[in-house]
């Protein structure tokens, strides 16, 4: 498996607008092979920002790469510029990608990645 994350540092007072933008987005992830799940995470508040992270799980890095090159990816990000001024960030999103090396399911069954 592969986990792709983007961290967003949202300026205080813009949290609701940020969350509403994500709630109203038309998701296109499920249209791609290898997609498993998505989470938008709200993290701790600091003096100058609230931390958020988008978190997608894919069957493999190759499936994630295919997403980034897909028509669905372009469509999902096409209107990102329309939100300028609605939300203020300390900086642009910070991407982090992780290869899963150990997975444990809800029943405690554990597997090492091949």
At residue 80, the pLDDT reads 64
At residue 26, the pLDDT reads 79
Kindly report, residue by residue over 18-71, the tens digit of the pLDDT: 999 999 887 889 999 999 999 999 999 999 999 999 999 999 999 999 999 999
Contact between 27 and 40 under an 8 Å Cβ cutoff? The reply is: no
At residue 91, the pLDDT reads 85
Q: Provide the CB-side half-sphere exposure for 49 (13 A, CA).
A: 16
57, with CB counted inside 10 A (0-12, 13-18, 19+), is buried
Kindly report, residue by residue over 70-82, the tens digit of the pLDDT: 998 888 877 666 6
Smallest CA-to-CA distance from 4 within 25, 29, 23, 31 is with 29
Smallest CA-to-CA distance from 50 within 78, 17, 98 is with 17
At residue 81, the pLDDT reads 60
């Amino acid at each position: 498996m592969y986990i792709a994350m983007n961290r967003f540092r949202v300026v205080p007072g813009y949290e609701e607008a940020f969350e509403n933008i994500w709630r109203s987005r038309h998701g296109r992830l499920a249209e791609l092979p290898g997609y498993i799940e998505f989470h938008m995470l709200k993290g701790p508040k600091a003096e100058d920002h609230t931390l958020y992270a988008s978190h997608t799980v894919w069957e493999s890095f190759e499936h994630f790469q295919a997403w980034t090159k897909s028509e669905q990816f372009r469509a999902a990000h096409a209107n990102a510029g329309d939100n300028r001024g609605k939300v203020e960030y300390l900086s642009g999103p910070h991407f982090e990608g992780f290869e899963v090396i150990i997975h444990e399911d809800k029943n405690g069954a554990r597997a090492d990645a091949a």
